[in-house]
Amino acid sequence: MYFYKDSFVEKTDRMISPDDRGYYFGDGIYEVFRIYHGKVYEQEAHLVRLVRSAKDVRIELPYSLEQIREIITTLVKKSRISEGTLYMQITRGEAPRAHSFPQNGKPVMTAYCTDVPRPTDAMDNGIRAISQDDIRWLRCDLKTLNLLPNVLSKQAAVDHGVQEVVLHRGGIVTECSASNLMMVKNQILHTHPANHLILHGITRMVVLRLAHALKLEVREEPFTLEDLYQADEAFITGTTVEITPLVEIDNKPIGSGIPGTITKQLQQQFERTFSK
Ligand code: PLP
């Protein structure tokens, strides 16, 4: 079951216009929501971010927030998904190809749910990464469809036989190709500040809340790749990856090369935020 252009349809019933600006320019925004036990996790935080992305790229949301909440509820119910994700994207609409905004374009929303199990193996054992230059634009805080640099990074990870890419600008670690990054050094949790250079992850926000509750010292300050090499622990955060330990970077083990104690503590606390 899909929501596409004002109605609920079967996947095969969709006719997407080649004139959709999402195709021509990646001219759109999106959100990925997590579903646990048939309920949408941190829905309001995702909606706040959606509204902000829309405002900053000057796309008028095609529906009110109340209507969007109803679309989400209906999709989750009709899809009968207990554990999965809900993908939602809004493009600037359909119009003959021209860079400037169309005069009478109506934004187009697409949304659907998918069964996505929790990545328990990666969460238990950790993942490996390589580092790469962060070649993205300077508004990484907006969740837009322009993901070509992220796509290239993720493929570089696959080509290297690892699971993620740690991005850095001139040696300052920003985030990963599809997740935020945190590291622990001397019991202090470090992560890049939530500015224009990273996506303000919802999972990142929840983890920082949990870290404060655990009375962990947190530093939202830039740190270098060299610092990450010397870290005691590191992990990535994201809607689908939750808190996944990063145990190796650029062929070097992080800490003792296994998921760290603070990482595990945060994983346990995180799980409690959606457990029944
Ligand atoms: N950073 C990037 C580049 C992402 O694509 C994502 C998620 O897709 C995140 C961070 C994590 O954000 P969230 O926790 O809201 O899923």
CA dihedral 148, 153, 154, 157 (to 10 degrees): 160
For 252, other C-beta atoms within 10 Å of its C-beta total 11
Residue pLDDT, tens place only, 41-83 = 999 999 999 999 999 999 999 999 999 999 999 999 999 999 9
Which secondary structure element, helix H or strand E, spans residue 227, and what is its range? helix 225-229
Ligand 1 geometric centre to CA of 179 (Å): 4
Q: How far apart are CA 114 and CA 60, in angstroms?
A: 26
Tell me which of 55, 77, 143, 185 is the catalytic residue.
143
Q: What is the pLDDT of residue 208?
A: 98
pLDDT band at 11 (very low <50, low <70, confident <90, very high): confident
Secondary structure class of 144 (helix, strand, coil): strand
pLDDT of residue 123: 98
- What pLDDT does 12 receive? 74
Please identify, in words, the CATH class of the domain defined by 120-272: alpha beta
Q: 3-class SS at 78?
A: helix
Once rounded to an integer, what is the mean pLDDT over residues 217-224? 98
- Is 179's C-beta closer than 6 angstroms to any atom of ligand 1? yes
Q: Could you tell me the pLDDT band of residue 176, with boundaries at 50, 70 and 90?
A: very high
CA of residue 174 relative to chain centroid, distance = 14
**With 90 as the cut, is the pLDDT of residue 193 above it?**
yes
275, burial (CB in 10 Å: exposed 0-12, middle 13-18, buried 19+): exposed
Distance 96 CA to ligand 1 centre (A): 32
CATH T-level fold of 2-115: D-amino Acid Aminotransferase; Chain A, domain 1 (3.30.470)
Return the exposure string of 116-134: e unless at least 16 CB atoms fall within 10 Å of the residue's CB, then b.
beeeeebbeebbbbbbbeb
Instruction: Indicate whether residue 201 lines ligand 1 (CB < 6 A).
Output: yes
Interatomic CA distance for residues 9 and 156, integer angstroms: 36
State what percent of residues in the chain have pLDDT above 70: 100
Mean predicted confidence (pLDDT) in 131-159: 98
State how far the Cα of 48 lies from the Cα of 50, in Å rounded to an integer: 5
Q: How confident is the model at residue 104 (pLDDT cuts 50, 70, 90)?
A: confident
Provide the β-strand partners of residue 109.
Answer: 90
* Nearest CA-CA partner of 147 in 192, 175, 177: 177
Q: What is the pLDDT of residue 10?
A: 86
Q: Do domains 2-115 and 120-272 have the same CATH topology?
A: no
Angle formed by the axes of helices 43-56 and 65-79, nearest 10°: 130
Q: How far apart are CA 3 and CA 113, in angstroms?
A: 10
Domain ranges of the chain: 2-115, 120-272
